[in-house]
Amino acid sequence: MSHAVQHLRESGHLGRFYIDGGWREPDGQDRACVINPATETAIAEIPLGSSGDVEAAVSAARRAFSGWSRTEPATRAALLSRVHALLLERAELIAQALTAEMGAAITYARRAQVPLAAEHLRVARDNLADFAFVSQRGSTAILREAIGVCSLITPWNWPLYQITAKVGPALAAGCTVVLKPSELSPLSALLFAELMDEAGCPPGVFNLVNGTGPVVGEGLASHLEVDMVSITGSTRAGVLVAQAAAPTVKRVAQELGGKSPNIVLPDADLARCVPLGVAAAMRNLGQSCSAPTRMLVPRDRLRDVEALATAAAGEFVVGDPLLEATTHGPIANRAQFERVQMMIEAGIGEGAKLVTGGPGGPAGIASGFYARPTIFSEVRREMLIAQEEIFGPVLAILPYDTVEEAVEIANDTVYGLGAHVQGTEMDAVREVASRIRAGQVHLNAPDWDPNAPFGGYKRSGNGREYGREGMEEYLETKAVLGFYS
């Protein structure tokens, strides 16, 4: 049994929700199993929230809002600092929870999933040090005030990371929140609720209700007392949340799907940028909305790229996520595994060149939702694998003849979340980046920046997360004329 599951069982928190500063028995009777994707076995059972649970959580958040929104920024920063410290103290337990609930390789959970999540809390805390909640424009005061009660809906692929990316800035802004994590990966969320409780979060400021999208998600999105919804998920899920929220005219921030391009310019150092591009496309086993899963390369260098990409994929070790040598564990759940397999078959059926990988799982693995890292080449822009988000370890290599054509191909998608550009001449790299319709562009594989705003154009969503812009998303603007007269 996972240490995380054992811990939650012994604490009694596994079968409860965190509402109004305490652990509450669920109102409804529905339950769901948490499946370990490495073994395909149930490792825990959690309650699924009802309309009564939603009502209790929203009511608690509403009662707490008046007091929390009027606290000093230093008070909110102090809470975030305590939560940040506790998260780092419990890093190993949370990493094990992530491996158990969604299959992240334990080394990746330790190296990326947990520490990057902690960074969102640190940034939210640090932004409070000098943020101008009141500014002057002539005789008018411009006030930035907390928007109110926020429902936060988070996905299964980066469970803790997306929780902190929303909870941190929302609490920093002075909002109160109700969190609905994915029912497929709820363990890390329960552990995070424990941290909030131990850090001394005031009752009602942070609340957690597990449940399904149609019941808890829609209930939160449509609730009259919820002022804002922030969702990270598929474009389909984002549309449903926006529709549910529309009658109450609440703000909806959406971080949705992506089909990010990686433009390899003609002067790029292939030996460096191709392996980095393959690694980026398949980080978290490709289960990242901003993963650069379309690599655009000069046609006359296509064969060299194929060889380098194949070698890079050959370095991956797919297998038991608890082993230190494993770089990539299983796909997080059965439904996603089946979609990945379907898309690989679609790529073969459309005539793309299968360079490495393919359908099925790695040799020697009898159970678990394991997929083979797969690379297609000679992909055309109209192919399904070039247009639809696959959300698995599948990379499409598309050749181009001119840089102008590469930019056109990069923008030829309904998405606009992220993009990469790689080349030697920086003026050319920057110029290409300026023409890509995406919310975040990476030049020559830079380090991750938790202060860089993140969000999409087109059907990749609206609003921004991370950094100062992430906190501003949870603020209203009030003008007070004559304030300085």
Catalogue the active-site residues: 255, 289
- Measured CA distances, 444 to 263, 273, 441 (Å): 10, 7, 10
**Under 8 Å between Cβ of 271 and 308:** yes
With left for phi above 0 and alpha for psi between -120 and 50, is residue 358 left, alpha or beta?
A: left
Which residues does residue 17 pair with via DSSP β-bridges, in sequence order?
24
The pair of structure tokens assigned to 219 is: 């209930």
| Amino acid letter for position 404 | E
Backbone angles phi, psi at 365, to 5 degrees: -110, 115
Report yes or no: 396 and 383 within 8 Å, Cβ to Cβ: yes
CB environment 248-264: b (16+ within 10 A), e (fewer): eebbbbbbbbbbbbbbb
Q: How far apart are CA 174 and CA 463, in angstroms?
A: 18
Instruction: Find where tokens 């409804």 sit.
Output: 28
CA distance 262 to 170: 32
Which of 332, 100, 46, 19 has its CA nearest to residue 212? 46
What is the SS3 assignment for 308? Answer: helix
